[in-house]
Structure 1
Amino acid sequence: MAALAVAGVASAQSSVTLFGVVDASISGYSSTSRDMYNGVSYNAFGVPMYNPFYVNQGRVKTSKTGMANSGYNSSRLGFRGTEDLGGGLAASFWLEAPTTNDDGATGVSTFARRSTVSLSGGFGEVRLGRDYTPTFWNDTVFDPFGTNGVGTNLISTANGFNTAGGAGDFGGNLTSTRASNSIGYFLPPNLGGFYGQVMYAFHEKTKYSPGLATPDVADNSRAGRYVGGRFGYANGPLDVALAYGSSTVGDDFYAGVTNKVNTLNLGASYDFGPAKLFGELSQAKLKTDIDGNFIVQPGSVPSTKLNGWLLGVTVPVGAGLIRASYSAVKYKTGHSDDLFFNDQRGNPKANKLALGYVHNLSKRTALYATVARVSNKNGASLSVGNQPYISNSVFTPKNSTGYDFGIRHAF
């Protein structure tokens, strides 16, 4: 019945395309934690205290090896189609489902990657549904690894892409990658290299009048809203884009508290021929706005910032492609550790080095290999492949390493 339904849709369209990617890899991940205590601690006044009897407990490690998917390109299955309405107008749909071909557990049960319907013409395109956010585009377009596999840049990882539960490590931002219930507008492609988009995603929360009738439940009034835009210029070897987005990640109606993650990033690439260079600068700010009856109102608590940068390169070699990137992030909380406002630990930060090679057997099939390593400092806990750390009062996350060896086929 499903096949007949698809055939029925196909007969009503000017064109319908079935497409997909099947990507499988042998992958391994490990995360190491260390006892960072050397016998010296600081009291509330910032005075060092030494314990001569403490014995350092060394390091502990977690590791995992198995088959994974999406190490080079994300595995997917999709349908897209376009109908020519005449007069330069066209109606289109795009339904794209994530698949886990390593175990077959996830297939066309959800179109969570993209599910949109759109109308396009000389004015541009208006798109409705679930789609990538403008701020995520810079993370993936200007990453030599395209935010896939162990090579995914640290900016994306820290902002919540490809992490357990989808919430990520910064602000619980569920719209860091995609937004549901969105309206998007895209500029037409004939603007001499200039391009852009804007997006608004509804939170779809029920509004009560009077306000006191609102149920006293967290995240029931504003959470889920996204607004953002991206504008750039691409001509010849140069591509550069600036994006900004604001995600409402939480709220407490009665306390008058709203939590937002505001993201600003700038990305660029330049193709010299023998090599293509990539770069990105990014800042995400987790801000808590307070409009309730507090000592200072209206106001906000100190925001937490996540600053990041990326440098990358790809080098064509015959039928192959060498890929490399170095990315780093640093958290800034605005809080200090002792009564004299001295930050004894320093702000958490991490860096990542990724190296890879892709060998194209054809236009559709490729073999690939990638290795990557993350180094954490001052309590950061970012990892490769979302591999967990052993973290407690003794052990602090330190390094994480991963690899992918796989094959990708597109159709």
Structure 2
Amino acid sequence: MIQPNAMPSMVGGAAIFRSTPIMKKTVVALAALLGSVGAMAQSSVTVFGVIDVAARDLKGANSVKQLVNEGRAASRLGFRGVEDIGGGLKASFHIEAGLAPDTGSADAAFWQRRSTVSLSGDFGEVRLGRQKAATRTLIDEFDVFGGNAMSGINRIIFLDRNRMDNQVAYYLPKLGDFYGNVEVTAGEGNTTTSGKSTVGRAGYKTKQLHLSAAYGQFGALNKLKLSALGASYDFGDFQLLSSYSQYKQGTASLKVTNLGATVKVGSGKVLASYGRATGASNREANLLAVGYDYSLSKRTTLYTTFGSIDNKGTSTFALAGAAGASLPTAGGKSRGYEFGVRHNF
């Protein structure tokens, strides 16, 4: 379509359009738009999340029926982005909030899952903010159920540190198949176990084999000392995982061994996990968890899990999520099953 202010003339049979003020303004605006698109190409922001809801029935000293928001994975909403700032440097951020789709609510501390900003380059990565401690990432990573669902022996009595506030972390640059990082939180005047921490992790990972070790100290007084080892091997349709963790705090101690396996079956996979915990004061427990995941698509999964903990002596370990009425008595049992659906976006 020829604009009214673009005056055509014929030269050698070809139409030529003389430039007008309106056309000049259009060209300038287009150039500005293309420039902004070029700038945007240097950075990116991704919205992501998980909605995971499960109907769960748990039995301990009593029974409890729940609709929970973390069967296979914790429900969450997150944003992450990266900007190339030149000279081989990149700046990035990651903020992630927990969600409760069973009630339609969000966590009171909205970005409490992770809220970090990073600077990375050939030197590695420096990351500041709140995130999981490296000891916990190891334990979760070598659990076939990802540390969620009803697969874990409850370690809350040892104030097991999950996510740490005010963390300064350094990650090594790529060193072939080796990786490592250290994390420090100064405590900011907090002398409890939840304040100060020093944590480190190292590992070796190929397509099939993964080996890792981590150690952390938490607190200024009565420190919690946690060491963990993990190993896994992926055969393709069959994967084996194992981990060992040891908790020490004052005179209290706990050792947890976990063995797991996954087997692909058609569009789904079978998961199985066995755990054993032993500690001071005649505490002992054995855990068995089995589950099945069926993939409806790359993003949506149906799943079911059965879990059982047999306590001995003074132990009162319970399946994850079994707080309150369903906690077993000393030496008692904790049983449960669930059916759920998870969607990643």
Whether the aligned pair in 2 keeps the contact of 1:98 and 1:108 (CA below 8 Å) is no
Aligned partner of 2:15 in structure 1 is: none
Q: Is the partner of 1:138 in helix, strand or coil?
A: helix
AA at the equivalent of 2:255: N
1:188 aligns with 2:151: no
Q: Counterpart in 2 of 1:262?
A: 225
1:356 to 273, 287, 291: 291
In 1, Cα distance between the equivalents of 2:91 and 2:307?
42
Query: What is the aligned partner in structure 2 of residue 45 from structure 1?
Result: none
TM-score by length of 1: 0.71
* Structure 2 residue 55 is the aligned partner of structure 1 residue 26: yes
Determine if the alignment matches structure 1 residue 386 to structure 2 residue 322. yes
Deviation at 1:199, TM superposition (A): 0.2
* Inter-partner Cα distance in structure 2 for 1:203 and 1:142: 29
Partner of 1:233: 204
Identical positions, percent: 42
Task: Please state if 1:326 is matched with 2:274.
Answer: yes
- AA at the equivalent of 2:287: K
Which position in structure 2 is the counterpart of 1:200?
A: 184
Q: Does 1:409 align with 2:340?
A: no
Q: Deviations over 1:225-250 (max 9, x none)?
A: 010100000012100100000001xx
* Runs of at least 5 residues in structure 2 that lack an aligned partner in the other structure: 1-38
In 2, Cα distance between equivalents of 1:308 and 1:124:
33
Preserved contact between residue 309 and residue 333 of structure 2 (Cα < 8 Å): yes
Amino acid at match of 1:204: E
The residue identity in structure 2 corresponding to 1:194 is F
SS across alignment from 1:135: helix
SS for the counterpart of 1:27 is: strand
Distance, in Å, in 2 between the alignment partners of 1:69 and 1:223 is 25
Alignment counterpart, residue 258 of structure 2, candidates 299, 310, 334 = 310
Q: Which runs of 5+ in 1 are unaligned?
A: 1-9, 32-60, 159-167, 206-218, 252-257, 288-302, 334-346
Q: Deviations over 1:269-302 (max 9, x none)?
A: 0012231000011111103xxxxxxxxxxxxxxx
In structure 2, distance between residues paired with 1:398 and 1:108? 34
TM-score, normalised to structure 2, is 0.84
Partners of 2:123 and 2:340 in 1: CA distance: 42
Other-structure match for 1:78: 78
Which residue of structure 1 aligns with residue 29 of structure 2? none
Q: Distance in 2 between matches of 1:238 and 1:12?
A: 36
Residues 391/135 of structure 1: CA separation in 2 closer, same or farther (3 Å cut): closer
Kindly indicate whether the alpha-carbon contact (under 8 Å) linking 2:312 and 2:330 is maintained by their aligned counterparts in 1: no
Task: Say which SS state the counterpart of residue 110 (structure 1) adopts.
Answer: coil
Question: Structure 1 counterpart of 2:344, which letter?
Answer: A
2:342 partner amino acid: R
Measured after TM superposition, the shift of residue 220 of structure 1 is 4.8
Give the letter aligned to residue 387 of structure 1: A
Alignment deviations for residues 2-31 of structure 1 (CA, whole Å, 9 cap, x no partner): xxxxxxxx9797100111001111111110
Q: Say whether residues 1:16 and 2:1 are aligned partners.
A: no
What residue in structure 2 maps to residue 255 of structure 1? none
d(CA) in 2 for partners of 1:351 and 1:18?
Answer: 40
**Residue matched to 1:285:** 248
Cα distance, 1:397–1:332 mapped onto 2, change above 3 Å: closer
Partner SS state of residue 110, structure 2: coil
User: Quick check: 258-267 or 103-112, which moved more?
Assistant: 103-112
Deviations 1:122-181 (A, max 9, x none): 111100000110111111000000011112x22xx22xxxxxxxxx211x34xx111110
Structure ranking higher on relative contact order (CA contacts 8 Å, 6+ apart): 1
Equivalences for 1:205-220 in 2 at 5 Å? 205=189, 220=191
2:307 corresponds, among 372, 379, 383, to 372
Shift of 1:386: 2.6
2:62 match: secondary structure: strand
Q: Quote the RMSD (CA, aligned, Å).
A: 2.1
Give the strand-richer structure, 1 or 2.
2
Check 1:350–1:80 CA distance in 2 against 1; reply closer, same or farther (3 A cut). same
Quickly say closer, same or farther: Cα 1:409–1:30, change in 2 above 3 A: same
CA contact (8 A) 2:243 2:259 kept: yes
Structure 2: how far apart are the matches of 1:359 and 1:396? Answer: 36
Larger Cα Rg: Structure 1 or Structure 2? 2
Which residues of 2 match residues 19-168 of structure 1 at below 5 A? 19-31=48-60, 61-106=61-106, 110-151=110-151, 153-154=152-153, 157-158=154-155, 168=156
